[in-house]
Structure 1
């Protein structure tokens, strides 16, 4: 008889289950189209019970954003905490791509925010994108702010983020064309190979 003890995760509290459900629904429908009733139904509680945890829909949305932003902004903060080397940049890049593959909700939520709006959009920009706009670090002689002098740095940042995040919002449309699950390990490997190849070309470009 096997007397080994199997570790089990502690049960999630109601607030965590509300956040999980709200994150999924905001990512599916956007802020405006989501109601607290939708969230309550997903969790399996009555709508008034939500107010014991979050005072209104905006507060719930803000809590969802904060949890996502904490996870997705951490890799850039880690990159900026020490010498910026080529190897560390590619580790950062791989971490970001893997995060989006593991949880596509942030990219989907951002897509809704861009198209139909929602509160705290400036918070998203400041936490996720502005640090990349302002970066002036050097990578083994290559300037991260390669496009700064041309005035194209903001467009380069947007292009990079679009490349990474639009994959998780648009790739499912190309499932048949790809001939595989766009969230499979093989697809992730190909996505990593593509973005690393493109970023390496940018770093190696010397200009005229």
Structure 2
């Protein structure tokens, strides 16, 4: 039996949901090690002992936060893999993911903290979120051969696009003045989507004819 209420059993507006929301924000802002249960309780507006009615300890709370995020962000890749893998569907999936990260930047920020300072279940998170994208066993149905001309490059392409999408979320606020606009505005989102789609189209068109040394 888990040490926390599973995300799909948390009633909307309940204390458990408010705890998850506050913990997600704090873990994204500070990382696992720098966030205490007292910090979460203070943000929710309850006494620390009340947290133990829902989560046994900080690790259980962190795992519940991660599970909720994984459920939200892994849905699009599950849907993509359930049907034919085509360029158009991959582009649609990528746009969905970019929009999800803009709507909720906490996953990218939390992953950055986990990469730098660790946290419980980081390996499990990577497996759940990214392993399906590394699977090259299903070719594109509208492609005559491996994308990039070499199926072995797929993991590197996945990492590159993940970095492109998520580093924008974590680093863009530093470039607010240079951009001259809110990096999370709708116009900035459209520019980010245009860039990501342009690069992905270039990947689709590449056939490995030119070897870089």
TM-score clears 0.5: yes
Q: CA deviation at 1:145?
A: 5.4
Matched residue SS, 2:198: helix
Question: Paired residue for 2:186?
Answer: 185
Matched residue SS, 2:32: coil
Alpha-carbon distance between aligned partners in 1 of 2:117 and 2:147, rounded to the nearest angstrom: 31
Question: Paired residue for 1:32?
Answer: 33
Residues 142 and 204, structure 1, Cα contact 8 Å, conserved in 2 = no
Q: CA deviation at 1:154?
A: 2.5
* Residues 54, 75 of structure 1: alpha-carbon distance in 2 compared, 3 angstrom cutoff: same
Question: Paired residue for 2:16?
Answer: 15
Q: CA deviation at 1:137?
A: 2.6
Q: CA deviation at 1:86?
A: 1.9
Provide, for residues 11-67 of structure 1, a one-character-per-residue CA deviation record: whole Å limited to 9, x for no partner.
600000000000000000000110000000000000000000000000000000000
Question: Paired residue for 1:57?
Answer: 58
Residues 73 and 100, structure 2, Cα contact 8 Å, conserved in 1 = yes
Alpha-carbon distance between aligned partners in 2 of 1:144 and 1:184, rounded to the nearest angstrom: 36
Question: Paired residue for 1:138?
Answer: 140
Alpha-carbon distance between aligned partners in 1 of 2:182 and 2:65, rounded to the nearest angstrom: 27
* Residues 143, 96 of structure 1: alpha-carbon distance in 2 compared, 3 angstrom cutoff: farther
Provide, for residues 88-118 of structure 1, a one-character-per-residue CA deviation record: whole Å limited to 9, x for no partner.
1111010000000000000000000000000
Q: CA deviation at 1:186?
A: 0.2
Residues 25 and 39, structure 1, Cα contact 8 Å, conserved in 2 = yes
Question: Paired residue for 2:100?
Answer: 99
Aligned residues: 198
Q: CA deviation at 1:147?
A: 6.7
Alpha-carbon distance between aligned partners in 2 of 1:178 and 1:101, rounded to the nearest angstrom: 16
Q: CA deviation at 1:146?
A: 3.3
Matched residue SS, 1:42: helix
Alignment of 1:122-161 (within 5 A): 122-135=123-136, 136-141=138-143, 146=148, 148-149=150-151, 151-161=152-162
Deviates more, 1:197-206 or 1:84-93: 84-93
Work out whether 1:204 is the aligned partner of 2:205: yes
* Residues 143, 20 of structure 1: alpha-carbon distance in 2 compared, 3 angstrom cutoff: farther
RMSD of aligned residue pairs (Cα, Å): 1.6
Given the two structures, how large is their TM-score scaled by the length of structure 2?
Answer: 0.89
Question: Paired residue for 1:4?
Answer: none
Question: Paired residue for 1:84?
Answer: 85
Alpha-carbon distance between aligned partners in 1 of 2:12 and 2:36, rounded to the nearest angstrom: 26
For structure 1, list consecutive stretches of 5 or more residues without a partner in the other structure: 1-9
